[in-house]
A = this chain, B = another copy of it.
Amino acid sequence: TTPPEQQVQVKNPHLDTMEEDILYHFSLGTKTHNLPEMFGDIKFVCVGGSANRMRAFAQFIHQELQLPGNSEEIRDICEGTDRYCMYKVGPVLSISHGMGVPSISIMLHELIKLLHHAHCRDVVLFRIGTSGGVGLAPGTVVISSKAVDHSFHPQFEQVVLGKVITRSTELDEGLANELLQYSTELQDLPTVIGNTMCTHDFYEGQGRLDGALCSFSPEEKLEYLRKAHEAGVRNIEMESTVFAAMCRVCAAVICVTLLNRFEGDQITTPHDVLVEYQQRPQVLVSHFIKKRLGLII
Contacts and interface: CB of A to CB of B under 8 A. Distances in A.
Given A24-B266, A98-B99, A105-B201, A214 B14 contact: yes
A103 interface: yes
Contact of A215 (B49, B106, B160): B160
23 contacts: A10-B212, A11-B213, A12-B212, A14-B214, A21-B266, A22-B266, A22-B268, A24-B267, A99-B103, A100-B100, A100-B101, A100-B103, A100-B105, A102-B102, A102-B200, A105-B201, A105-B202, A105-B203, A109-B203, A112-B212, A158-B201, A161-B221, A162-B227
Given A52-B82, A162-B224, 19 more contacts: A11-B215, A14-B209, A15-B214, A50-B83, A98-B99, A98-B100, A100-B102, A102-B200, A105-B203, A106-B203, A109-B212, A110-B212, A113-B211, A151-B162, A159-B200, A160-B216, A161-B207, A161-B216, A162-B227
A29 to B, nearest CB: 9
A18 interface: yes
A27 to B, nearest CB: 9
Interface in A9-62: 10-15, 18, 20-22, 24-25, 49-52
A25 to B, nearest CB: 8
A64 interface: no
A267 B20 CA distance: 11
A23 to B, nearest CB: 10
A292 B82 CA distance: 32
Contacts of A22: 266-268
A263 interface: no
A25 B103 CA distance: 16
Interface residues of A, number: 65
Nearest to A266: B22
Nearest to A208: B109
Interface in A164-219: 199-205, 207, 209-216, 218
Nearest to A110: B212
Interface of A: 10-15, 18, 20-22, 24-25, 49-52, 82-83, 98-103, 105-106, 108-110, 112-113, 116, 150-151, 158-162, 199-205, 207, 209-216, 218, 220-221, 224, 227, 238, 246, 266-268
B82 A205 contact: no
A267 B22 CA distance: 8
A102 B105 contact: no
Given A83-B99, A102-B102, A205-B158, A113 B212 contact: yes
List the 6 shortest-distance A-B pairs measured between CB atoms, nearest first. Answer: A100-B102, A112-B212, A12-B214, A161-B224, A52-B82, A14-B209
